[in-house]
Amino acid sequence: MEHQTQILVVMAAYLGLLIAWGLYQGRKVKTGADYAIAGRNLPGWAAALSERATGESSWALLGLPGFAYASGLTGVWTAVGCVAGIITAWSAIAWRLRDEAEKYRVNTFTGYIARKHGEREKWLRLVSSSTIVFFFFFYVGAQFLGGGKTLHTMFGISPALGMLLTAVVIIPYTVYGGFRSVVYTDVVQSLVMITTLVVGPIVGIIAIAGNPDIFAQSIPQALERAGSGYTSLTGAAEGFAAGVVIMGGFSWFFGYLGGQPQLSMRFMAIRDTRQARQARNIGIVWTIFAYIGAL
């Protein structure tokens, strides 16, 4: 069997598994709360793996490695900001948001904000929902674009067709099973992602070691040959400009402090406080290994 055919068979099996698994989980949906927030009954491991797959998606597999490849060691500040933000979110926000969701008996993030500030509930629902719909149009589009580019790279099909195939796989189980189906298919994807981010770099380093036909045989050698800008943590910038580079990268920290409702929903859906602690530990460990691998 040709290499390309092998990849096609594996990919088809993987996508088929996702659809079947998502539809299977959808059969367990019995109430509106099950559909919207998995009945607020997610085990910690499922919430953590789903949150990490959702939070990173094509960013960790394509975006961050590509940025680091293009910019050199300045990409470290972006990774540091992201990791610090994720650790803070899991340590200081996740369990509190879970408790608040249980207290107010809400099924959505906008519902929580509106219920907590009841005197302005109507307007808060309108503004927050409109904001989410507007920005998620571009956010979801970026995820489909990532899927399209991946299929384009693997099989040579057009990115547009790749995006269409991605949508054909994702939309059926999402509509059928709601949040529950999304979470448990995220779990599968999260495991694939962390395996790729940990094993992939190791295999790559072994493959290039001692190969004279490749640009460099090690990471330090590649950085040295790429030029001084690559080996500088500030991109060779100095003074105020260096501070801008550092703070610009680290500013990703703030994006994880409750500003992404798709992540906050995973916190809200955790079963209880004990499961929240389990989720925190898994989420933090996953993040550290993933970002080391991505860079």
What ranges do the domains of the chain cover? 3-18+40-102+179-294
Structure confidence by residue, pLDDT tens digits, 38-87: 889 999 999 999 999 988 877 777 778 888 877 777 888 889 999 999 99
Residue 243 · residue 237 · CB < 8 Å: no
Q: Is the pLDDT of residue 260 over 60?
A: yes
> Which residues on neighbouring strands pair with residue 42, listed in sequence order?
270
Write down the pLDDT at residue 188. Answer: 92
Structure confidence by residue, pLDDT tens digits, 211-224: 666 666 666 666 66
Q: Is the pLDDT of residue 242 over 70?
A: yes
Residue 288 · residue 56 · CB < 8 Å: no
Distance of alpha carbon 26 from alpha carbon 42, whole angstroms:
14
Residue 64 · residue 237 · CB < 8 Å: no
215, exposed or middle or buried, with CB in 10 Å at 0-12, 13-18, 19+? exposed
Longest Cα–Cα distance of the chain, Å, equals 69
Distance linking the first and last C-alpha atoms of the chain = 33
Write down the pLDDT at residue 229. Answer: 67
Q: Is the pLDDT of residue 207 over 90?
A: no
Helix, strand or coil, per DSSP, at residue 42: strand
